Structure 1
């Protein structure tokens, strides 16, 4: 099968790719290798798909419906893998493959000790949900309730030895970009100042550390068989859930 990346993915990654990044060019071969090594049967590539990964609907050797997800290192797939493994299917899609034994930094997937096998790094085999049915298909009030309940299930204590990015670290990076924007646009400056002041006030209180989805929205809550609604696509952080 030819693994043609959806145009949505090509455009999104093309706009953010660092110099010399050839992941998109290597993607068709990476997908073929991942399918062959796991003895998967391919049904189709999910279109339009996401903006940071290729999603392929597959079946395992025993016929179980599954999803094969491939993402470049800058999308932090190893951080996603670690979070999904810790949740263990509680409120989120379930991993069908155990994480590699080497510990990985969540801020980019770089191995701390050793290298993740090439057949697993950036490749996630997940339980199959209904990819075309998100909680947004519900009436608005019901959608809000179901999304909130799903989100609450994810608020668990992080692993003691975790290397997930913290809310303070992530918003710190975002603050630098906001300051640069304010410097070039005086009309935006008061809003940026108010936002950064609120950030400092919120971080000043002793945080209650929880493992958080990190990029939660209703389109990332999909219909499932094991539970009615499950979250997908985390970019996890640790911090105060409020």
Structure 2
């Protein structure tokens, strides 16, 4: 029942721990179906870190690899209670499992309309006071600043010092003190699905306390890739399009446009350095990675004031 691509990616990423978890996964799913009195209703699907088992009643059982980054997903769903995101029906935290409202497999990344406005409307709904017990993004400020300085010094890159300095200023001015707001943490077009109850609903949150402008910036960073690869936009056209999407995203979400732009600049610098050290899931090396890193560099430089 485990998709082979998911099994391979899990072992490559997690090693022996991933192999051990995969061996237990069919039994975990069977136990959950029995525990919640469910019958399977379709083929097993998967994301990057978990499997999704459709069940009768327009629901799915999601089981994620037991990793600290997946701990607070049900807390976020519980807080939203269906507002802008799929509903949580049941949770089994010990097994990193949830019974969730079913959505379609088509994502906002495939949508040909105004994706920025769709995302902004959804982000407005998701912007609520954070529940107790979630990790604060502000706690990562020192770690982010240290990593930026280390990467800037050690890596061969073309980013001017002014670009790195502004990214560090964003950490000092926006990251160290943030609103007490629930933040999705991985808000991009592939984590926004077509649905029945609402046109679009969010999935796969990380669940942080922080600035909603961070979510908007993550969305724009990822949009740069889709505009370049999916729509085939050259760099100049892509940057103009991304700037226009920034405006529509800010208007629809009610989040300050300049704040989104500054967060996006920081995330672009971080992504530029990350890509040089580690590659990306979509591009591990070669000319594809070089082009993607160069594109992210352009975003970082262009959005530096």
Instruction: Please report the TM-score for the alignment, with normalisation by the length of structure 2.
Output: 0.61
Q: Any idea what the Cα deviations from partners look like across 1:90-129, whole Å, max 9, x if unmatched?
A: 10100111x56xxxxxxxxxxxxxxx5x5xx311100111
Q: Any idea what the Cα deviations from partners look like across 1:32-61, whole Å, max 9, x if unmatched?
A: 222222222222111xx31111111111xx
- Deviation, structure 1 residue 181: 3.3
Which structure carries more helix by proportion? 2
Q: C-alpha distance in 2, partners of 1:203/1:138?
A: 32
Which residue of the other structure, out of 202, 207, 217, is the alignment partner of 2:188? 217
Q: Over aligned residue pairs, what C-alpha RMSD do you find? A: 2.5
Show the counterpart of 1:55.
52
| Residues 157 and 209, structure 1, Cα contact 8 Å, conserved in 2 | yes
- Deviation, structure 1 residue 6: 4.0
| Residues 208 and 240, structure 1, Cα contact 8 Å, conserved in 2 | yes
Q: C-alpha distance in 1, partners of 2:17/2:204?
A: 26
Q: C-alpha distance in 2, partners of 1:20/1:52?
A: 13
Show the counterpart of 1:45.
44
- Deviation, structure 1 residue 180: 4.2
Show the counterpart of 2:64.
71
Show the counterpart of 1:155.
127
Which structure carries more strand by proportion? 1
Which residue of the other structure, out of 12, 28, 31, is the alignment partner of 2:29? 31
Instruction: Please report the TM-score for the alignment, with normalisation by the length of structure 1.
Output: 0.76
Q: Does 1:13 align with 2:7?
A: no
Q: C-alpha distance in 1, partners of 2:4/2:144?
A: 28
Q: Say how many residue pairs are matched.
A: 209
Cα distance change, pair 173–73 in 1 and its aligned pair in 2 (3 A): farther
Contiguous gaps of at least 5 residues in structure 2? 214-305
